[in-house]
Structure 1
Amino acid sequence: MAQILAPTSQWQMKVTKSSATASPMTAKMWGSLVLKQNKKGPTRSPTKFRVLATKSEGYTINRLEGLLNLDLTPFTDKIIAEYIWIGGSGIDVRSKSRTISKPVEDPSELPKWNYDGSSTGQAPGEDSEVILYPQAIFKDPFRGGNNILVICDAYTPQGEPIPTNKRARAAEIFKNKKVIDEVPWYGIEQEYTLLQTDVKWPLGWPVGGYPGPQGPYYCGAGADKSFGRDISDAHYKACLYAGINISGTNGEVMPGQWEYQVGPSVGIEAGDHIWASRYILERITEQAGVVLTLDPKPIEGDWNGAGCHTNYSTKSMREDGGFEVIKKAILNLSLRHGEHISAYGEGNERRLTGKHETASINTFSWGVANRGCSIRVGRETEKQGKGYLEDRRPASNMDPYIVTSLLAETTLLWEPTLEAEALAAQKLSLNV
């Protein structure tokens, strides 16, 4: 529900060493580990036993935490690269780590890798090797230092994109000269829901019950209104550290639901940044013991669903006279409504009901400042005569590579017939 108006330069984050960062474990520290197993007394339960190491300064640190916080930079040039890719469902993120001999600045410096596609639903067991191509690099907020997260896409050993690799097709569209010349900007509003681990019920909700009706939760504060703010804030800071172009965050209408905005980003970068941000959110919720879901309608009934509204503009839309260009783009979008809906996320029909700030999935509409339309145009855009449009149809589990490239293709590369264009223009004029 945020408005994103203009792109900013990539943040360059510098890591400052905190005094709380654990130092490398020395032999003396390891030697201070005491296991008094011969002492008489009640046997300790293994589930309650904690292994501690005592530092000579007189305080104790958790051994595992000390190792996790080790700063490798003074001791080796080697770094850890976490290769991340999209799994067989098209929405799950997978990853594995490898050691790289020195810090890198560009994906081209990284080697290709492979994984067992039969274990992710992406290849048969008798020919299971899938090849990862590094495409985008982000700083690793979990390991720190020079360590990196690497967004990859997947190919057969013969170099063909596998079916779940939607990035390759998007990259082709964004390399088209017509698209490049129009410098497409995207601002993506990612909504998500936090669930309690054991019961898979929204965070903060009474188990098997419901909170009070919607109203006080959107952008609310207080223990009875905001559930999961620490996760949202940790994710916000981790994304900034990583170099993701995150521009804001807020609590959403349904309690236990949050949103963050990524962008404006240009072209293929929008998809890379959304997938990296999703991976970081999965890792943070993993550490917090909370389940993340991108289901577009996690709770049936009188509750808002979860979307991934996509703000979009081209160079021509942002210049004087751009409002007419926006109207032409909307006309094209109306003619390909079915194609867009089929690519905008699984289960989206449960969300796009015409209620809860959505348009019906079966009809296309647009309006100024109307959140019940398929396409919303802001008041400021109408006033200035230029700006951007917001596609409110994508679900929270949409693939950003598909949505962003499809918007560019439909509005910049695809041309309707004159008859279809005239008919669509007549229908749209009746909807406004």
Structure 2
Amino acid sequence: MAQILAPTSQWQMRITKGSTTASPMTAKMWSSLLLKQNKRGPTKSSAKFRVLAVKSEGYTINRLEGLLNLDLTPFTDRIIAEYIWIGGSGVDVRSKSRTISKPVEHPSELPKWNYDGSSTGQAPGEDSEVILYPQAIFKDPFRGGNNILVICDAYTPQGEPIPTNKRARAAEIFANQKVIDEVPWYGIEQEYTLLQTDVKWPLGWPVGGYPGPQGPYYCGAGADKSFGRDISDAHYKACLYAGINISGTNGEVMPGQWEYQVGPSVGIEAGDHIWASRYILERITEQAGVVLTLDPKPIEGDWNGAGCHTNYSTKSMREEGGFEVIKKAILNLSLRHTDHIGAYGEGNERRLTGKHETASINTFSWGVANRGCSIRVGRETEKQGKGYLEDRRPASNMDPYIVTSLLAETTLLWEPTLEAEALAAQKLALNV
């Protein structure tokens, strides 16, 4: 199992004259020995002892650990802000750091910045400057103190959103008064897969081979069932520290695959929190020497894919009579099925096959407690007559800004024709 943090500092002391062996010492033992040495008086030779970095379980002791863990708060008001943005693929996260003169509480207090878009596939070399607009702030779990992570979106120097900036359009939808009045809630279930670094094969799987069939791994415990729990736990705590609204985590059906949930979040906040959580996960897997993939079907064959199921409700859905509002929303979603599928992540056709707890990508369906449908409604929602729906179509690599805003647009702002609505109602009645 991969290790997240640098191992506890161990030091090896070697007597330079006549000694050919060395024994590991903890930092506490080393300090104790220095105290004893001082009690004896000054040494005759300052070169008598030498501290060496050693390897322990394949890791070279990191002698920068003390500097990395420095708390700057008592010494300066200045902080480090890590500006984070989405790269040219629409899935990768990029970041760079800058010093800010004092702690801040709101992104409006931060300056805009820029980066070389030609190096991220987002601008031509002859006009490569892309401008970063700070949009959301989170505490930095890696640097601690008053240091922050800053979620940004990207614009041209003229102030136009670049094509990969999906946040700008989402913000417009969430600023619509009809949407504001309905207070849209989202709970997003982010699945991901951990891969071994050199072979790009799932963590815990025999290289070039396969583990036992699916069944014992989902929410399982044990060295032969759970691979990467330390990464999941470290990520969970780091997100809580950062202020991300993470609500849970669990091992998934395919070994080496995990899930965490973010929400309930309101409006644009859902996208900001998912992107911040993805960045933190990338940093943790970087430290652990494990590769993170959001591919929706990382292993072909009889293995579950990776999704990003999105739970959604509006104020009207959560109130008495809300189940009828949910049914109307499902009708609208059925009419825009193709639009949603086209925006729900690259490679999703390899995952939405009608098998492994998915619906077919070509057919819209809904059902109560049915995980093989496009839209699932929980038993409790049916019983209470109000609640939420779960859109099971989004892939693990979906852009949360697109998915959340499209759900709001389709169910709150978009109106189908009467003929289309009647036809869709007939189809859905037959489907159920």
Give the TM bin, normalised by the shorter chain.
0.7 to 0.9
Q: CA contact under 8 A between 2:81 and 2:100: conserved in structure 1?
A: yes
Distance 1:113 1:362, change over 3 A: same
Q: Secondary structure at the match of 1:361?
A: coil
Give the CA deviation at 1:44: 25
Partner in structure 2 of residue 279 of structure 1: 279
Higher Cα radius of gyration: 2
Give the CA deviation at 1:45: 25
Q: CA contact under 8 A between 1:86 and 1:94: conserved in structure 2?
A: yes
Q: CA contact under 8 A between 1:10 and 1:245: conserved in structure 2?
A: no
Distance 1:9 1:100, change over 3 A: farther
Distance 1:19 1:402, change over 3 A: farther
Task: Confirm whether residue 188 of structure 1 aligns to residue 188 of structure 2.
Answer: yes
Give the CA deviation at 1:34: 14
Give the CA deviation at 1:63: 3.1
Q: In structure 1, what is the Cα distance between the partners aligned to 2:154 and 2:353? A: 35
Unaligned runs of 5+ in 1: none
Give the CA deviation at 1:13: 40
Q: Deviations over 1:239-266 (max 9, x none)?
A: 0000000000000000000000000000
Q: CA contact under 8 A between 2:11 and 2:53: conserved in structure 1?
A: no
Q: CA contact under 8 A between 1:4 and 1:263: conserved in structure 2?
A: no
Give the CA deviation at 1:19: 34
Q: CA contact under 8 A between 1:141 and 1:241: conserved in structure 2?
A: yes
Q: CA contact under 8 A between 1:12 and 1:243: conserved in structure 2?
A: no
Q: In structure 1, what is the Cα distance between the partners aligned to 2:168 and 2:296? A: 25
Give the CA deviation at 1:2: 25
Distance 1:80 1:267, change over 3 A: same
Give the CA deviation at 1:16: 41
Q: In structure 1, what is the Cα distance between the partners aligned to 2:150 and 2:181? A: 28
Give the CA deviation at 1:41: 28
Q: In structure 2, what is the Cα distance between the partners aligned to 1:4 and 1:53? A: 20
Give the CA deviation at 1:127: 0.2
Give the % identical residues. Answer: 95
Partner in structure 1 of residue 209 of structure 2: 209
Q: CA contact under 8 A between 1:11 and 1:240: conserved in structure 2?
A: no
- Report the TM-score, using the length of structure 2 for normalisation: 0.87
Distance 1:66 1:374, change over 3 A: same
Distance 1:388 1:32, change over 3 A: same
Q: CA contact under 8 A between 1:51 and 1:63: conserved in structure 2?
A: no
Q: Secondary structure at the match of 1:42?
A: coil
Q: In structure 1, what is the Cα distance between the partners aligned to 2:110 and 2:13? A: 21
Give the CA deviation at 1:42: 29
Q: In structure 2, what is the Cα distance between the partners aligned to 1:384 and 1:84? A: 42
Q: Secondary structure at the match of 2:275?
A: helix
Q: CA contact under 8 A between 1:336 and 1:410: conserved in structure 2?
A: yes
Q: CA contact under 8 A between 1:188 and 1:308: conserved in structure 2?
A: yes
Distance 1:299 1:35, change over 3 A: farther
Q: CA contact under 8 A between 2:2 and 2:228: conserved in structure 1?
A: no
Q: CA contact under 8 A between 2:227 and 2:256: conserved in structure 1?
A: yes
Distance 1:15 1:303, change over 3 A: farther
Q: In structure 2, what is the Cα distance between the partners aligned to 1:15 and 1:311? A: 63
Q: CA contact under 8 A between 1:11 and 1:245: conserved in structure 2?
A: no
Distance 1:230 1:413, change over 3 A: same
Q: Deviations over 1:169-201 (max 9, x none)?
A: 000000000000000000000000000000000
Partner in structure 1 of residue 14 of structure 2: 14
Q: CA contact under 8 A between 2:193 and 2:258: conserved in structure 1?
A: yes
Distance 1:374 1:136, change over 3 A: same
Q: Secondary structure at the match of 1:376?
A: strand
Distance 1:50 1:315, change over 3 A: farther
Distance 1:195 1:4, change over 3 A: closer
Give the CA deviation at 1:10: 39
Q: CA contact under 8 A between 2:308 and 2:394: conserved in structure 1?
A: yes
Which runs of at least 4 in structure 1 moved beyond 6 Å after TM superposition?
Answer: 1-51, 53-61
Unaligned runs of 5+ in 2: none
1:138-153 equivalent positions in 2, closer than 5 A: 138-153=138-153
Distance 1:259 1:415, change over 3 A: same
Give the CA deviation at 1:227: 0.1
RMSD: 9.9
Q: CA contact under 8 A between 2:12 and 2:51: conserved in structure 1?
A: no
Q: Which moved more, 1:21-30 or 1:213-222?
A: 21-30
Q: Deviations over 1:75-100 (max 9, x none)?
A: 10000000000000000000000000
Q: In structure 2, what is the Cα distance between the partners aligned to 1:104 and 1:367? A: 47
Q: CA contact under 8 A between 2:13 and 2:49: conserved in structure 1?
A: no
Q: In structure 2, what is the Cα distance between the partners aligned to 1:8 and 1:386? A: 51
Q: CA contact under 8 A between 1:217 and 1:226: conserved in structure 2?
A: yes
